Amino acid sequence: MAKVRQRTWTVPGQRTKRRAWGFVTIESGKHRAKCADATCGGCQQVRQFRAEWSKEQAEEALSKYLLKIEQPRPRVSGMTLGQACERYLGLKARKRSLANDARIVKHLKQEFGEETPLAEITADRISEYRAKRLAAVRRIGTGESATERRLTAAAINRPLALLRHLLALAREDWGALDEVPRIRLEREPQGRIRWLESDEEVRLMEACGRSRTKHLGAVVRVALETGLRRGELLGLAWDQVDMSRGLIAWLTRRQNLEGVGRSRMRQAVYEVLAALKGDREGRIWPAGDIRTAFENAVAEAKLDGLHFHDLPARPHLQPFQTPEHMAELRRRRAEKRPAAVAARQALEQRERQAREAAATAARERLAREAERHRNRPITILTASRWLGESPVKTLTRVLRGRRLTAVTMEDGSTRVRASDVERMILADAQRPPRAYPTPSTRPCGIGDGQVLPVREWALIFGSAPSPYIVVPQRVVACPQCGRALEAGRPVEDGTVPYRCSMSTRCDYQAIRGEERWLTPPAFWGPWSPPVSEYDIEHRVEAVTFADARAYFADPEADLMPNFEIPAP
């Protein structure tokens, strides 16, 4: 049985899950321990997974394996990569990172072949492997939130560095190689320097005090004052502390430094240790890691990019935290490390190019915005105010296409471009008879009593076309039939006669005086004055300029041209 599947695992100390496609198949010839007897015909399992494989590549690899397309190479005399790896792991048995070396060794045996002689691992094959790793992409996460990321320079360099060391051992110590091929490593980014400012330290200590891990604040304070790493600090015991002389001794295994370290207590450390309750025996801090509690405190204090190993940097770098000391430190480092100078110059050049590109993009964006602002659509009423002519005349220009082109908006309204108005004003000022308009915020050549159809007013004000407008009208109800009463011509004495709008069916009449309703003299029969009023919607197809200005909104009432008007 053979199948393609995806393997999921996590690296110790990391929360992100990693995934790799591969295949699993069964070969005859060897039984596994869980087989009850030998009647199954052999069930040796073959598993191959690659982080850079996709599902299709895994299926292709399975097909090649089943069809025996890639035949194993004949074994050549001499030390093989598998033998060299076993000998290397034996030499590094006391190394703290042996598990990581074993993982890299397994990866190298899969890439170059366990039975490959060391003599066949040439510079050409190593270059092909390096190019393959540079092009590899790994998928992080699952679902829509998954991201694809290329391997870092460190992930590429670690296997290459181990292979270079292994080949050097094979040549110098084991005599299995005559020459070690040249292995080129990728350039890795420089390390960072991070320490706490005074306000950041206050926020961090306040967040640690609110943590559910009660001793977190004490641990962080001691780390800030002594410079101990997290492992060194959590492993402290009371027999390593001399409260009377104010000394702390610890075992250290830092890079290029192993043995016993000693540090003199500061007053803050003495106060923290003296305040701890319980017997002065065994471990100082409770068992367990504080990583999660510290990360939660950092998130609560809103400190970006701060890790626990950044805390010990404070005592050693505190004298250099002034700008003068930092400048001196950078100068000394630049003198001692020419590579750092070249890297900084390259970085400054990239930053300068990025600033120039950003400035160019900003200028282009401003130019586009200016051009868009110059060609923005304006209402016909605004164009008439800029041209100093009647809106009716400007509307006629637009409808006939004379020097002004109509622009239809998404809502169906009609407007003109500001650039057309600008060209028209400049052209009129250059040819006889020379015209020099005076833009104003008040309409020109039109009075409040000018009557036009509602459709034309909608075009002038830049609103959606409408054949009429609805005007609310207050009417008096007839007491007999409920219809509206119609008003007649006012009489000389100031009264106004009313009659029912359905006069063919209702003979109700009334006279409205200054203060009350009066009975008409020619009306006979019982009569009662009107007592109710209501609103009706009255459709109007033609209105005055004053009514149109009150009905249609004019958002460009204060808009003035942004170009220079020629002067006589």
How do residues 202-216 score in pLDDT, each as one tens digit? 899 999 999 988 889
User: Where does a domain end: 395, 428, 461?
Assistant: 461
* Helix 391-400, helix 454-461: angle, nearest 10: 90
Residue 436 covered by a domain: yes
Whether 72 and 163 share a structural domain: yes
Whether 528 and 438 share a structural domain: no
Residue 337 covered by a domain: no
Q: How many CB atoms within 10 Å of residue 446?
A: 18
Strand partners, 147: 140
Check residue 296 and give its pLDDT.
92
Whether 51 and 161 share a structural domain: yes
Residue 5's alpha-carbon distances to 19, 24, 65, in angstroms, are 10, 8, 15
Which tokens belong to 253?
Answer: 């295994």
Give the CATH number of the domain where residue 259 resides.
1.10.443.10
Whether 270 and 403 share a structural domain: no
C-alpha 279/C-alpha 288 separation (Å) is 19
Check residue 256 and give its pLDDT.
40
Check residue 71 and give its pLDDT.
45
Check residue 250 and give its pLDDT.
62
Strand partners, 150: 137
Whether 106 and 203 share a structural domain: no
Is residue 450 helix, strand or coil? Answer: coil
Whether 168 and 255 share a structural domain: no
- The one-letter amino acid code at 24 reads V
Residue 409 covered by a domain: yes
The residue with tokens 């198949």 is 25
Whether 495 and 527 share a structural domain: yes
Is there a contact between 109 and 118 (Cβ–Cβ < 8 Å)? no
User: Where does a domain end: 405, 427, 461?
Assistant: 461
User: ω before 555 within 30° of 0 (cis)?
Assistant: no
C-alpha 371/C-alpha 367 separation (Å) is 6
Residue 455 covered by a domain: yes
- pTM of the full structure: 0.37
Q: For residue 372, what are the contacts with CB-CB under 8 A and spacing of at least 6?
A: none
Residue 64's alpha-carbon distances to 53, 69, 218, 528, 539, in angstroms, are 14, 5, 60, 107, 83
Is there a contact between 147 and 141 (Cβ–Cβ < 8 Å)? yes
Which tokens belong to 208?
Answer: 């640690």
Intervals of the chain under pLDDT 50: 36-38, 71-77, 254-259, 315-317, 319-320
Is residue 497 helix, strand or coil? Answer: strand
Check residue 162 and give its pLDDT.
94
Whether 484 and 435 share a structural domain: no
C-alpha 115/C-alpha 111 separation (Å) is 11
Strands 485-487 and 44-50 come out as: unpaired
Residue from 276, 263, 84 nearest 167 by CA: 84
Whether 128 and 28 share a structural domain: yes
Residue 9 covered by a domain: yes
Whether 536 and 388 share a structural domain: no
H or E, element range at 402? none
How do residues 532-550 score in pLDDT, each as one tens digit? 887 777 788 888 888 888 8
C-alpha 503/C-alpha 531 separation (Å) is 19
Looking from the CA of 317 toward its CB, the CA atoms found within 13 Å total 16
Whether 270 and 411 share a structural domain: no
DSSP notation for 216-228: HHHHHHHHHHH--
Residue 355 covered by a domain: no
Torsion angle, CA of 183/189/190/193, rounded to 10 degrees? -150
User: Where does a domain end: 433, 461, 489?
Assistant: 461
Q: For residue 317, what are the contacts with CB-CB under 8 A and spacing of at least 6?
A: 193, 195
Domain total in the chain: 4
- Segments forming the whole domain that contains residue 65: 2-172
Residue 332 covered by a domain: no
Whether 206 and 281 share a structural domain: yes
Q: What is the CA radius of gyration of the chain?
A: 45
Check residue 1 and give its pLDDT.
66
Is there a contact between 395 and 416 (Cβ–Cβ < 8 Å)? no
Residues comprising the chain, all counted? 568
Residue 114's alpha-carbon distances to 22, 50, 90, 92, 468, in angstroms, are 19, 16, 17, 19, 90
Residue 184 covered by a domain: no
C-alpha 59/C-alpha 53 separation (Å) is 10
